[in-house]
Each structure stands twice: as C-alpha cells, then as structure tokens.
Chain A
C-alpha cells in the first residue's frame, strides 16, 4: 500500500467510528474496498443526474453487508462533485406517509441534514435559499441597473421573485411559497433575524399548524404529508438552477417500512415509494436522485415486501438472464450487495492496519499472514457466514489493533488464539452513538 496521507482529524474519526461498529461520516473513501462496480454504477447515476435526468436505486443486502457504508460513500462522492445531498433514516416515527405526519417528519430530517461540500454537516438550506435569491438579485441588477441600497431595489427584487415563482410548473401553493421567500429577503434587508429564521423553519417543514405559520409569516399553508415530496422535487430544480449539479436523497433502514403492521398504512407507504420511483424513472422530476437502502426481505418478501405488489415486482425483479448467467447486472434499479470475497476482506484489513499505524504514529508490523490468520480465526469461531458482515469483522479487528497498540507486550497470534478473544456474533450490536456517525443497520 502506498503511503496514505490522511489528516489526524479524519483518521481519528475513522478509527473511533469503526471501533464502535458504525459507519464513519468522513473518511469512508479510504476504506472502500471491493465495491468498485457498485460505486461505478452509482457514479454513472450521478452523471445522469447532473445532466438533468433523475435516478432511483435500491441498495439491497443483508444485515451488516455494507449498505450504509455504500450510502455514505456515494454521499461523500456526490458532495465532492458539487451535489447537494440529504440523508435520513426511516424509523417508526419517520416514514413516507402516515396518519400522524410521519411523512413530513422524514422531510424534516432530510432538510436538517441537507449538506454540500462547504457545509458538510447539514445547514445547506440557507445556502440554497440565498443562492436562489442571489440569482434573482443579480438579474434585477442586470435588468434595471440599480444597486442594492437604492430606493425601490428591494421592491423590484420582490416582484421578480413573484414572477419567477409563477413560472414554476407543478408548484403547489405557489403564491404562499413566494411569500416565504420574500419574507426571508425582507428579513435579510431589514436585519430581522426572526423573520429569516421563520422562513427557514417553514421551508424545513417545522411549522405543525397553519395558525403558527400565519402568525409568523402570514402564509396560510404549511408543508404537510401530502406536499413534502413536491417540495423535494422543487428543491432539486432550485439547486440545479443555482449551479449545483443536483440533489441526492439517501434514505436508509427501509426495513422500518417493511415492519409497519397495518397493511393499509404499509401499502400507502409502498404506493408513495412507487410514485417517487415512477417520477424519477419517467423523468418527471429533474436533477433528483433517490437511493434507498433496505434488506432483501424488504424487497422480496412475497407477502409483506415490495414484491407483494405486482407493480414493484415488474420494475425491480432481476432479469432472468442475470440469474441464468450468474452475472451481477448493474444497470437495473436494484443493486444487490454480494458478500466481500476473502481477498477483499484482507485488503480492507490491511488498509485499516495502515490507517491505525498512521494515526498513532508507529510502524505497522502485521503481515498478510497475520491477517489471514485473523480471518480464519473468525471463521472458526463464528462460521462462514461471518464473512457476510464485514462491519463486525472490522470492529473486532479495530479492537485487536487498539489492544496491540496499548499493550506492546502481547503478540498478535497469542491475542487472537487466546480464549479471551470473543468476536462479535452477528445480530449483537454494541451501544451505538448517533452523534456524528451514520447509523448501522441492525
């Protein structure tokens, strides 16, 4: 391996999150091994989205096979390339539709995690909004030749905002949306931070009643369960207008949709997902990409999964030619994550050892043979299906590295063959810390 150059901050974050068994938020590209084809297919989607076409992918794999990892990877790549990304995890309170505003809860989560290259921790909404307003401002300056502090400039910008909003097709509540943008502009010009933050809250869907919205902004509508997806599409168009390449939405833990117990609600959610799929595949949405991570059961269970609905089956089932020739096809909407091969796992462990050594400043002494021994020991103790969950292997390996680094007296072979070495079996997970790390699927 060539000498890696990683900043201390990133390598520390990597080691900590991997040691805890969660997917790190930064630095995933350094440990991306074995998913080149899947990544290439997703990068092709990114190019399509930059061109204006939309994309919808499923990332399907079992527990621990690396779905969240791949989602983080594509999220970071997309951010680097100039996309706006937003990610959210489904949960019992966050779905696509429901009777208790579960849909708009997902939207809120997405909006609060809206990120770009210069705002990687969420908070890109204000950049998008200001970028869009700035475009209008510049047009007004060009057309009328006025400068910002002249009389009548603010009114010109307001009327231009109204004009542009009128031209947006399929916009529900166009007039009220325009009023929200104008409220932000006014708040900016008059240094009224309350108005600005009220406008941001409205756009993030944080107003729960129309009365609140009317009191704060004077608009009579709020973003609710029926309209949040339209606003996602609108934002995709916006970000393309102001110079970003497009909007990428990543939703993970789709298994929560599978676990909805009432059939009616579940079907409602699946139908909403189908509507989103159709929109993107038929290019009724522009510059929008949606990637959904879920388990195989979520997709293929004939009674409760997506395949229970014929429409989904037709759209996502593997073509029979693929099954015949046993070749993985990467052009369909479903990306099935195959388990990593042993060689790939060894490469991954090698990289991890290098990063650990670089971070703590020592020379890495583990050989390839040591790593092979480690993998063999895992297989001996947990069976061959341990190879299906690279996340657990990584966590155990990180703990081994930490122990070796802190107690230089212990030899590697001794440690892994000793009786105290208890690799984590699949299904048991340590307490995960949600702060700053992506969630690992259960």
Chain B
C-alpha cells in the first residue's frame, strides 16, 4: 500500500513539473501571440484611417504594453485564485488520504478475518467430509451386518426346518421301525405256518405222486381202449344223426298233428256252438210244434164234431180230406258264418331294418334315444329335450348335433332337421326311426319281464 502511495506521489510530482515547464513555454508563446496580435491590430487600425506609421507604431506598442500589463494582472489574479483552490484541494486530499489509510486498514483487517474464516471453513469442511465418510462406512457396515443377520436368520430357519424334518423323519422312522418289527414278527409266524404247511404239502405230494403213477398206468390202459371207443363213438354219432332226423320228422308230424288237432278243435268248437244254437232253435220249434199240435188236436176235435154233425145231417161218405197236413217243420238252413280267422302274422320287425340302422341303435345312448322319441312323437319337443339336457349336463342343440353325428357316421346321413322351427325327423327316415324305437322298447320290455 505504501509503495503504491509513493509511486503515486512521484508520478504527480512528475506531472506537475512537466506541467509547469509545459506551461511556461505555452505561456511565453501565448504572450508573444497576444503581443503580436495586439500590436498588429492596433497598428492596422491606426494605420487605416491615417497612414502614419509612427503613430500607428506607437499606438501599437502602447496597445501591446497595456495588453501585456492587463494580461499580467489577470494572470496574477488567476494564479492567486488557483493557489487558493489548490490549498483547499490539498486539504481535502489530505483528508481523503487519511480516510483511505483508515479504509485500507479496515480492509486489511477484514481480509485477515476472511482468511481466518476461510481457514476455519476449510477445517470444518474437512471435518464434515471425514464424518460423512465415517457415516458411509458405518452404513456399509450396518448393511453388511443386516445382510449377515438375514443370512443367519435364513440359516436359522432352514436349520430349524431341517431339525423339524429330521424330527419328523425320526418319528416316521420310529413308526416304520415299529411297523417293521410287527411285520417281521407276523412274517415269522407266517413262515412257521407255511413251513408246517410245506411239510403237509410234501406229504400230500408224495401221495399224489403215487396216485399219479396209478393214473398213468390207467391212462395207458385207456389209451389202448381208446380206438375201440372211438369207433363206437362214430357209430353212435351216426345213430344219433339218424335219430335226430327221425325226431325232427316226428316233431314235424307232431306239429302238423297239433295244428290239425287245433283246427279240428276249433271246428269242433264252432260246430258245438252251432249245435247249441240249433238245439235252442229246435226247442223253440218243438214248442211251436206242441202248440200247433194242440191246435191241430182241437181243430181235429172240431172237425170230428162237425163231421158227426154232418153225419147226423147227411150220411155221406166221409171225404178223406183228413189229410194230415204235413206240417212241415221248417228246416232252418242257417248260414253258418265261418268266423274268419284272422291270422295275426307278426311281422318280425327285426328282419326289415337295414344293418346300418341297427348299428346306429347300438351306438346310441339311452338319453339320445329318448330325445329322438320326443322329437318323433311330440309337436313341440323342446321342453322334453331341455329336461334330458339338464339331466345329462348338456344343452339341447348339442344333443341334436350328437345324434346327427352318430347317424352320419353309421348311416351316412343326417336324420334330424335342425333348420325348422322345432326339430323334426326328415321325412325319408321316419319309418326307420319308428322301427328302431319300437325295437328298443321291445327289448326293454323283454328284459324287464325276464327279470
């Protein structure tokens, strides 16, 4: 600071000396110029009106001198003024300099303070960094400890589970062991039993072997007998065949005679009924006959009486007109209606159904058959189909599709028309469907009746 001040002082000194020397030269030149100008102007001015060089010159010189004097006076005044100002300024400068020195001192103090604080702050930062590092390291250690703790905990739990398992295993093994010992005892007892059985069996075997030998000897004997027996068998078979033929013939005869007998019996029955009817009629007629006879008797009596009267009146030869009227018994020739025997020819249904339809029936589950029956017999089978679907955990259209699929696989065509309002069987297949349903119902009836 002090060096700077001295430098400044010297600089200002240099400046002032420079200024004064400069000023000096400038002043002189200024004076010269002033003098010259004043001289020339006054010379000129005085010359112009009257061309008197001396006067002019004189006026010129006087002007110049006065100008110089004035200039000098003015100059002095100015200088005094400037000196005064300079003094005041110098005082002010001194004050300022004093102020500056104080400020400088204060700045220095502040700088020192600042440095101190800076140093302190550095120290504190270092401390902070150190403590942060410590904290990080502590955290790390903490984490590692936590990890280790978790590991230990998992290990502990796993060990405990292992222990539990082992305990369980041990318990199981104990159980198994006890079971096994029980088994072993049982097996040992079984073993003893089977040993005794073995001895028994061995004795039996020896017996059986003896028997076997006997049987073998019998077998060889029988082997010798076999061809003879075979011949006999052959002969017997032929005899059997002949007898079978005979029995068939006899059976046929029997059947024929049976049918004849049945025919005869029916004829007999019918003729018996006829007989009964005729008897009844006969009785009727006999009744009538008796009535008529009575009438005849009464009429004959009357005739006799009349004849006697006639005889009494005129003994004329009796005319033999006592012809007995042949009361003809009306022979009712009845027309016997022969009761037509209606042959119930049972159509054996099982012979009219093609093979694929029977196969279809075999593959069809009962509930699908019921669906088919419902479609065939009812106008609106939807309710029935829905019930069957509920019972078998399915849906109505799936049932129809399943039936059609089975039909397509076995018969080669679809049998239910699903496009119409309610499902119906196609026209061309109705007869067969009816037949298979009837067949199924027959089978069911036979089955239940046989049970």
Contact = CB atoms under 8 A, between A and B. Distances in A.
Nearest to A119: B418
A116 B414 CA distance: 12
A52 interface: no
Contact of A118 (B395, B405, B412): B405
B207 interface: no
B209 interface: no
A8 B125 CA distance: 108
Given A117-B408, A118-B404, A127 B390 contact: no
A148 B401 contact: no
Given A123-B418, A148-B390, A149-B390, A137 B405 contact: no
B336 interface: no
Nearest to B382: A191
A148 B418 CA distance: 24
A226 interface: no
A118 B408 contact: yes
A168 B261 CA distance: 82
Nearest to B402: A118
B395 A134 contact: yes
Interface residues of A, number: 22
B393 A141 contact: yes
B405 A130 contact: no
Contacts of B408: 117-118
Nearest to A10: B413
A130 B414 contact: no
B393 A138 contact: yes
Contact of A119 (B394, B395, B401): B401
A137 B391 CA distance: 12
B396 interface: yes
B390 A133 contact: no
B328 interface: no
Nearest to B395: A130
Contacts of B414: 118, 120
Interface string A180-191: 000000001001
B326 interface: no
A116 B419 CA distance: 13
Contact of A188 (B391, B395, B400, B419): B395
A131 interface: yes
A119 B416 CA distance: 10
Given A117-B408, A121-B419, A130 B397 contact: yes
Chain B interface bracket (under 10, 10 to 19, 20 to 34, 35 or more): 20 to 34
A442 to B, nearest CB: 30
Nearest to B392: A148
Interface string A191-219: 10000000000000000000000000000
A149 B389 CA distance: 11
In this complex, the member of A116, A119, A123, A138 whose beta carbon has the largest number of chain B beta carbons within 10 angstroms is A119
Contact of A130 (B383, B398, B404): B398
In this complex, the member of B383, B395, B405 whose beta carbon has the largest number of chain A beta carbons within 10 angstroms is B395
In this complex, the member of A118, A131, A141, A147 whose beta carbon has the largest number of chain B beta carbons within 10 angstroms is A118
Contacts of B405: 117-118
Nearest to B428: A9
A137 B393 contact: yes
Interface string A126-160: 11001101100110010000011100000000000
A131 B413 contact: no
A7 interface: yes
A127 B397 contact: yes
Contact of A7 (B383, B390, B391, B413): B413
Contacts of A141: 393
Contacts of A148: 390-391, 393
B393 A133 contact: no
Interface in A1-25: 7
Contacts of A116: 401
B390 A134 contact: no
A98 B393 CA distance: 44
B397 A126 contact: yes
Contacts of B401: 116, 118-119, 127
Nearest to B399: A130
Interface in B312-339: none
B425 to A, nearest CB: 14
In this complex, the member of B383, B390, B401, B412 whose beta carbon has the largest number of chain A beta carbons within 10 angstroms is B401
B387 to A, nearest CB: 9
A123 B423 CA distance: 13
B413 to A, nearest CB: 7
A147 B390 CA distance: 8
A120 B414 CA distance: 10
B398 to A, nearest CB: 5
Interface string A87-122: 000000000000000000000000000001111110
Given A117-B408, A148-B390, A127 B419 contact: no
A133 B414 CA distance: 24
A210 B394 CA distance: 32
B30 to A, nearest CB: 99
A119 B394 CA distance: 18
Interface in B367-404: 383, 386, 390-391, 393-398, 400-401, 404
Contacts of A131: 395, 398
Contacts of B413: 7
Contacts of B393: 134, 137-138, 141, 147-148
Nearest to B383: A191
B419 A123 contact: yes
Nearest to B405: A118
A191 B398 CA distance: 17
Nearest to B400: A118
A330 B419 CA distance: 39
Given A7-B413, A118-B404, A127-B401, A134 B418 contact: no
A120 B408 CA distance: 12
A115 B290 CA distance: 93
B398 A134 contact: yes
Contact of B398 (A117, A121, A127, A149): A127
A319 B60 CA distance: 126
Contacts of A127: 397-398, 401
Nearest to B406: A118
A147 B393 CA distance: 8
Contacts of B391: 148
A130 B396 CA distance: 8
Given A119-B401, A127-B401, A149-B390, A133 B395 contact: yes
Contacts of A191: 383, 386
A221 B393 CA distance: 32
In this complex, the member of B396, B397, B419 whose beta carbon has the largest number of chain A beta carbons within 10 angstroms is B397
Nearest to B412: A7
Contacts of B398: 127, 130-131, 134
A417 to B, nearest CB: 42
Contacts of A188: 386, 395-396
Closest A-B pairs by Cβ, 4 of them: A130-B395, A118-B404, A148-B390, A118-B401
17 contacts: A7-B413, A117-B408, A118-B401, A118-B404, A118-B418, A123-B419, A127-B397, A127-B398, A127-B401, A130-B395, A130-B396, A130-B398, A131-B398, A137-B393, A141-B393, A148-B393, A188-B396
Interface of B: 383, 386, 390-391, 393-398, 400-401, 404-405, 408, 412-414, 418-419
Given A134-B393, A134-B395, 11 more contacts: A116-B401, A118-B418, A119-B401, A119-B418, A127-B401, A130-B396, A131-B395, A134-B398, A137-B393, A137-B395, A147-B390
